[in-house]
Structure 1
Amino acid sequence: MSQTVHFQGNPVAVQGSIPQAGDKAQPFTLVAKDLSDVTLGQFAGKRKVLNIFPSIDTGVCAASVRKFNQLAGELDNTVVLCISADLPFAQSRFCGAEGLSNVVTLSTLRAPEFLQTYGVGIADGGLKGLAARAVVVIDENDNVVYSELVNESPTNQTTMRHWLR
C-alpha cells in the first residue's frame, strides 16, 4: 500500500502503511549515538513516542526535535525516540549544541527495514530512501494508541497529548 505526503508543496509517495491505533508495535533495532543497537524491547513498561523524520539537518525536523524534547520533559514514564537516517554522530552533535537531553536519538543506519515496517519510507523524489515525517505513540504494553503521517503542517500535538495522559 502506498500513501502520499507533501514535501515543498509536491506529492511524495510513501511505501507501506503506518501502524494504526490498536495494532501491536512491531519490534525494531536502531542505532544509538554510541553506535550500539537499541531495541523497542529496551523501553518495556514505558510509553514510547516515535518522532520519525528525514533528517535533523532540515529546519522543520530540527524544530520537531526541540518541541519533542520539551514535551519529553513534561511526561512521566514516557520516552521520546527521535528517529532519522542521520548518522548518530550528527544526531549527537545537534542535541549537544542545542542542549537537548530529554529525547533519545536513533538512526536507521544498519536498519533500513524500519522504514518499511513502520510505513514511512519515502518511495520517490529527492528524499527517496529516507523516512517521511510521522509520529507513533505506543503504550506500556507495546500497543499503538496514536499515529500520524505528517504532511508539511506541524504534528497535531493536542491529539497526541490526549493519548499520553
Structure 2
Amino acid sequence: MELGEGLTRWTIRIALALLFFCCAGRQLAGEDRRWQTLERLLWPLGCGFFLTHIAAAIHFFHHDSQAEAYADIARQTQEALGAAVGEGLYVNYLMAIVWTADAAWLALAPQSYRRRSGWIEAAVLCFFLFIAFNGLVIFKSGWLRVFGIAATLVVAASAGWRAWQKTERKV
C-alpha cells in the first residue's frame, strides 16, 4: 500500500472508530467527568482525522480535482445503489463543517456544549451516524461492513440503555 492510499484509508478508519466510540461513550458515561475530559480530547481528534482523510482523498485519489472526486463518488453510488449521484461529496463536506463546529464548541465552551438542547445533540449525532453507517455498510464490504454494523448496534444499544436509565430515574 502506498503512503497516500494508506493515509487516506487509515485516517477515515480512525475517524469513524473515534466517532462511534465517542457516540457510545456519551450515552454510557452521561455526566462522568473523566469521560468528559477524555471526550474533549477524542472528539476533536476524530474530527482532525476526518479532515485529514478528506484532504488526502482529494489529493491522492482525485489529483486535487473536485470534478474527479464528484465523478468517483457518482461511480461508487452507481455501483452500490444503481444511480450515479455525486452529491455525496457535498454531504461529506457538510459533515466536515458540522463536525468541526461541534468539536470546536466542545473544546472552547464545554459547559455550554454540555447544556445544549437535546434536539441539537440528537440531530448532530444522527447525521454523523447516518453518514458513517452508509459509508461503512452500504459502500464497503468485508470487515469494514461488519465493523459498521457492530458499531451501529453498540451505539443504538447505548442510546437505548441511556433512555431506559432516564425513565428509571423518573419512576
Interval of TM-score (by shorter of Structure 1 and Structure 2):
under 0.3
Work out which of the two has the higher radius of gyration on C-alpha atoms and give 1 or 2. Answer: 2
Which of the two has greater strand per residue?
A: 1
Higher relative contact order (CA 8 A, sep 6+): 1
The TM-score normalised by the length of structure 1 is: 0.28
